[in-house]
A and B are shown apart, each in its own frame.
Chain A
């Protein structure tokens, strides 16, 4: 009814080619931007920023970067952690003053503004990414994955070994000194929640808009042509060298920026093996898979999912509180009753249909999950042992990845697309 093209007249080519051709989508997009820029900064505190918003924004940039490479250009990469490390260490060198030794004489640049340090870190990572992308001209698929895996291990080893990269500190840790933009501290210990949030938000927004337009334009089409069939792409005139290397460059640029922000703004101090190990490569890849290959929205959805899920599980299961208000406990009982009812209905359904998901089984599964979540949150957490919750979290994330790979290989973005398609026709079924 609201969500449709009809009646939204386009009178110019610019209008016709815009990112969100549907009016409702466009206003929703402005609304999200408005909330993110004008409302959230006034509402957040340290916990919200460092547990949810900063990791979400930074992982989103990394996921967009990897999505350009894997989702749009079809080149598998397991080197994300290593490239993030390049970004982090490059940013550190730029923000503390890059020093070069020639014949025993030290030449040092003055420290560069944090914003430009982050951008330059992206540029350095893009160059490194192109270098490690060269094998992609010869090899594909698993073999390329192994080559990028080598990049991951090599880069981590390098930043452990090369003491110039961490300014010869005894521990090999790099720590972000305090840096400001317009007199507002962005890095260092005494930052305000809103300042770091806005800094990352601005960079994320620019990155996402640029990525969206790159993938809609000629270069994106070339990447997708290479992804779908590289020989055919070459025949129709796509230069594989340029297309593949540009995908590596752009992707690494994004990942480098993510690494720089991850170090400088979010954590403040990192150690390469711990922060940028192989797990980081995997988690960003999972974000891309769960979110949806070849979708900018999917990158955000995947990042949000994997950042929020552990926090949500922790709040639901591990936390506990002694004082529960009367209202909360009443709500808790209501949700508990709802949970019990959904489980009973699910069991009846199983007995009747001899299947877990046949009939309305799926709905009862969702209903029981939702009521359990509501119950756990309203009573302030179940208070289970922290190790059980941590293990459960691994189980749930693993199960979700398998479920997504089987049931919806295109991830959350495809669910979103299907939902929009249904909305467009609503209230008519066809």
Chain B
């Protein structure tokens, strides 16, 4: 009798088996506040991609994924609370979608050994992997964006923009101030005049900035805006009849919700991007069958295929691929944050892999290395067609001016290393 009980107990334990913990990808989202217009589609895209992996493939490498969502409202205090609340759940990577929260998390994640992926935002000099061990900002950063915009202006002017006037309308925060140094360097190189126009948080009040633009008549306006600021700026530009094809936003200022309020007047507005736009990819059929039709879509489910949704999905894809790489390197499906970091550092995105995933030509192919956490820094230009109500790519992914950007990255990151006593890695 006794042995029987014992075997039963053993059998019960065996049946229960080792409990497979989920792979946790926390989403520090913001669905409220003045930046919700961009926060909602990104969070939806991020969550939907992992739902798709769970439903279609049974997770990553056989382990289910989990995306706990925590509302930050683009607020740094809530961002810290969310980070502390979720890091105990075995978080693999953080993507806060806020430059302010990124600055806060950089020292914390480095101390806690969790990777941070700030795709196209955050601290640009984190691209230097020698200094920032746990921070990644591939495939492109703010300075690449600024350079791609200037390159586009160069192209349209046959390579000579000496004496042209370029105005930068920027969100008066760490985010908006990021491109200033790069644009100044480029201005010295190409000989254009740069005017700086700061817009304060949240950005609903821009009358004086646009009055100045109307008075000074710059040839081009570059915008680093986010949230409600974008719509207001595009509306103001339309009000002063600024030619839209000379108005170029960074990737955070180029989504459907930014241009639709201005209606037809926004026709021709341009934006930089580092991934493809539109929903003409096989993956969207999968998302429809496995996620939307099953009623599992995050949020209201009405964002599929919009620009920022695609970006959230792209971020999730890169995270999932890095997790897969980490599983491959360490030979275990149950990866930890430290293994995830190794996976991100060894990540290689090829054209074949993207085609396999149903996202052909969705972004550039690139490889991350120990020194370079910033990727290739390619960007393309998209343009808004107000009558068709869609964004279309008007250029290929082109290179940014790395001769200017790399020294800036090295300088800024080495200053950070000296300030914080960080030893260089990758030697």
Q: Assess the A47–B88 pair: CB atoms within 8 A.
A: yes
Chain A CB within 8 A of B100 CB? yes
B67-75, B246-254, B327-335, B365-373: which lies at the interface: B67-75
Residue of A nearest to B201 (CB): A273
Q: Which of A27-35, A172-180, A336-344 contacts B (4 or more CB under 8 A)?
A: A172-180
Q: Which residues of B contact A318 (CB under 8 A)?
A: 70-71
A172 to B200, CA, bound (A): 13
From 78 to 129 in chain B, residues with beta carbon under 8 angstroms from any chain A beta carbon are 78, 80-81, 84-85, 87-88, 99-100, 103-104, 106-108, 110-111, 123
Cα-based distance from A177 to B420 in the complex (angstroms): 6
Does A170 sit at the interface, judged by CB under 8 A? yes
CA distance A47 to B82 in the complex (A): 9
Q: Which of B71, B103, B110 contacts A173 (CB 8 A)?
A: B103
B419 CB–A CB distance under 8 Å: yes
Within the complex, what minimum Cβ distance (angstroms) separates B275 from chain A? 25
Q: Is the CB of A311 within 8 A of B76?
A: no
Are A160 and B172 in contact, CB atoms less than 8 angstroms apart? yes
Q: Are A171 and B76 in contact (CB under 8 A)?
A: no
B residues 24-83 in Cβ contact with A at 8 Å: 29, 31-32, 36, 40, 69-71, 73, 75-78, 80-81
Return chain A residues, CB-CB under 8 Å to B78.
310
Greatest chain B CB density within 10 A among A50, A170, A172 is at A170
Q: Which one of B100, B111, B172 contacts A190 once the chains associate, using CB atoms below 8 Å?
A: B111
Q: Is the CB of A171 within 8 A of B123?
A: yes
Residue of B nearest to A46 (CB): B84
**With a CB–CB cut-off of 8 A, which chain B residues contact A267?**
76-77, 80, 104
Of A178, A267, A318, the most chain B CB neighbours within 10 A belong to: A267
Structural contact, A270 and B173, CB atoms closer than 8 A: no
Say whether B110 contacts A189, CB under 8 Å.
yes
Docked Cα-Cα span, A160 to B196, in Å, equals 14
- Given the known interface contacts A172-B173, A173-B174, the answer about A390 and B81 at a Cβ–Cβ threshold of 8 Å is no
| A309 nearest CB across to chain B (Å) | 13
Complex: how many Å from CA A50 to CA B79? 11
B104, A178: Cβ atoms closer than 8 Å: no
User: Which residues of the other chain, A, contact B354 by a CB distance below 8 angstroms?
Assistant: none
Closest chain B CB from A321 CB (angstroms): 10
| Residues of chain B in range 379-427 having any CB-CB distance to chain A below 8 Å | 412, 419-421
Task: Confirm or deny: A391 has a beta carbon within 8 angstroms of a beta carbon on chain B.
Answer: yes
Query: What is the bound-complex CA distance between A46 and B83, given in angstroms?
Result: 10
B338 is an interface residue with CB less than 8 A from chain A: no
> Inside 8 A of B75's CB, which chain A residues have their CB?
274
B217 at interface, CB cutoff 8 A: no
Pick from A47, A55, A270: contact of B85, CB below 8 A: A47
Shortest beta-carbon distance from B129 to chain A in Å: 18
- In angstroms, Cα B419 to Cα A177, docked, is 7
Report whether B71 and A386 are in contact in the complex, using a CB–CB cutoff of 8 Å. yes
Question: Does any Cβ of A come within 8 Å of B198's Cβ?
Answer: yes
Q: Which of B160-198 contact A (CB under 8 A)?
A: 172-174, 177-178, 180-181, 198
Given contacts A170-B180, A178-B420, A387-B31, contact A271 B103 (CB under 8 A): yes
For residue B408, give the distance in angstroms from its CB to the closest CB of chain A: 9
Contacts of B180 in A (CB 8 A): 170
A160 touches B198 (CB 8 A): yes
Q: How many A-B residue pairs have CB under 8 A?
A: 97
A275 / chain B contacts, CB cutoff of 8 Å: 76-77
**Cα(A362)–Cα(B201), bound, Å:** 42
Task: Mark out the residues of chain A between 37 and 81 whose CB falls within 8 Å of any chain B CB in the assembled complex.
Answer: 46-47, 50-51, 55
B103 touches A170 (CB 8 A): no
Nearest B residue to A277, CB-CB: B201
Are B81 and A171 within 8 A (Cβ)?
no
Q: Contacts of A274 on B, CB cut-off 8 Å? A: 75-76, 100, 173, 201
Which chain B residues lie closer than 8 Å to A311 at the CB level? 81
A391 in contact with B32 (CB, 8 Å) = yes
Max chain A C-beta neighbours (<10 A), residue from B69, B70, B81, B88: B81
Cβ contacts under 8 Å, B100 to chain A: 173, 271, 274
For residue A240, CB closer than 8 A to chain B, the reply is no
Residues of A with C-beta under 8 A to B201: 273-274, 277
Residue-wise interface mask of A (376-395) relative to B, using a CB-CB cutoff of 8 A (1 in contact, 0 not): 00000000011101110000
B77 touches A387 (CB 8 A): no
On whether the beta carbons of A51 and B76 are closer than 8 Å, the reply is no
Shortest CB distance A190–B (Å): 5
A415 to chain B, nearest CB (A): 27
Q: How far is the CA of A266 from the CA of B79 in the complex (A)?
A: 12
From known contacts A172-B174, A177-B420, infer whether A386 and B103 are also in contact, taking CB-CB under 8 Å: no
Measured between alpha carbons, how far is A20 from B151 in the docked complex, in Å?
A: 72
Contacts of B85 in A (CB 8 A): 47, 51
- Chain A residues near B200 (CB, 8 Å)? 273
CA distance A17 to B111 in the complex (A): 50
Given the complex of chains A and B, what is the CA–CA distance between A275 and B75 in angstroms?
A: 8
Q: Choose one: A172, A177, A178, A387; the contact of B71 (CB below 8 Å).
A: A387
Q: When A160-B172, A170-B181, A267-B76 are in contact, do A386 and B81 touch as well, CB less than 8 Å?
A: no
Q: Assess whether A21 is interfacial by the CB under 8 Å rule.
A: no
A171-B88 in contact given A268-B108, A311-B81, A386-B29 (Cβ < 8 Å)? no
Listed A/B pairs (6) with beta-carbon separation below 8 Å:
A47-B85, A273-B201, A274-B173, A275-B77, A310-B78, A311-B81
